[in-house]
Structure 1
């Protein structure tokens, strides 16, 4: 199965880089800081508050070397100055603050990350690398990417309507096309070669809605190309069979202690409110 990262990267490439958030060290302009949608942003929570996770001691963990790529916006990429930034970068900082350990980040080509981890060139991979069929250990997901519908604001499109009978745009050959055909059989799926083309059609009113991954749709809604035309409608739709298990951190199979420490840290980052801060920085139009 293709990695979730691969699918997101293909869709992200169809959207302008100008839609990406400003660097955490720079003050964003007023327009970029204002969500395009008026609905409150829902902060996802993938952690069970009842789970018993013991706080690890820094001495038992030691320094952690994280491996990631620098071409995976908005999760890890370089800004115009060449500085590495992104959701994953800020999340690593928050994790290491919780664990009170020193951390280092090294970027590598995506195709080399798994082997680099096994070769002990690093201790953990945070890059949207799928764990299908491998022996690597994965933390609990820190983010899942739902499918969403986008429709014009003034329209009455409602995906929950009984017997939905409408033309819905989607990208040909994607999991979103398959999901749409499976769970909305009365809808008429219209596949396009690119997400940008499909979104242009809904913006112009040629079709009532588009179904795709929430990350790409959120950046489009918050960017200049949408021009405030549209909104999320219905959803979110989560299904691991179609959209993957979500974004996790991978460690070697002999590093169960590190995985447990990372799971503890991820939950603490969420409970402290820092996850919300990071999430809103990169997803001002929420995915959920």
Structure 2
């Protein structure tokens, strides 16, 4: 019986070691509802620029990564309680977010923009949008900007769990405009059937206080080692051409910015 027990214990130890060996080195949080950066394919798999760049970064760092999908407003809380080790989900590097998490260097930088019915003229958003409804994604930089600027100007801010929900309400006429990333609006809405009859309007939104200096990968506060590894890998992908190869699948221009 002792031999059987010993063999069982050895088998359990070997199995535990095998499971541990298969565990991911890094768990990366992502919201898969933000095309073309991250979205679900018809077979339910995650795809998009963020996802492919993330996989390329993991390969460059020679680590095994596991993707953890969840709503955008839950990504930073999950990072803080160690459910994920990093967040790669088009998250802007802003002064407000830097109070609670650290970031890598940027991996792309694009401005915010308004989408409205084609033909709409917006010269001064704080004046021209007064009395109108503007949709934003909850917990995004656009939400914070709209809450601080639009609400005080008499503009009704409508918040959504995902940007796709805002696009749906814009197309159906339940809101008058949406404020979001210019690329997301163009690729995720204007180029779709739902986006026919709509257009980008008004000025670019790039106030660094709210929109930061581009999108980066968030890590836990003080985790300089992980941030540096990602930053070095981003530079390597830019240098070896892998970044440009992935970018070319989704964009016809360089979204890295200046």
TM-score (norm. length: structure 2): 0.57
| TM-aligned CA distance change 1:139 to 1:193, over 3 Å | closer
Task: Show structure 1 runs of 5+ residues with no match.
Answer: 1-62
Q: Which residue among 105, 109, 117 is the counterpart of 2:66?
A: 105
For 1:70 and 1:247, the matched residues in 2 are separated by 14
Aligned to 1:238: 206
Match status 1:68 vs 2:29: yes
1:203-238 deviation line (CA, Å, top 9, x unaligned): xxxx9x7351125532121111122x2322343211
Cα offset for 1:274? 3.9
Larger Rg: 2
Tell me the SS of whatever aligns to 2:82: helix
Total equivalences in the alignment: 209
Aligned to 1:220: 189
| TM-aligned CA distance change 1:193 to 1:282, over 3 Å | same
| TM-aligned CA distance change 1:179 to 1:283, over 3 Å | farther
Aligned to 1:141: 106
| TM-aligned CA distance change 1:238 to 1:105, over 3 Å | same
1:151-162 → structure 2 map (5 Å cutoff): 151-153=116-118, 155=119, 157=121, 159=123
Q: Per residue, is there more helix in 1 or in 2?
A: 2
Cα offset for 1:160? 6.7
Aligned to 2:134: 170
Task: Show structure 2 runs of 5+ residues with no match.
Answer: 1-23, 161-165
Q: Per residue, is there more strand in 1 or in 2?
A: 2
TM-score (norm. length: structure 1): 0.53
Compute the RMSD of aligned alpha carbons: 4.4
| TM-aligned CA distance change 1:281 to 1:160, over 3 Å | farther
Tell me the SS of whatever aligns to 1:141: coil
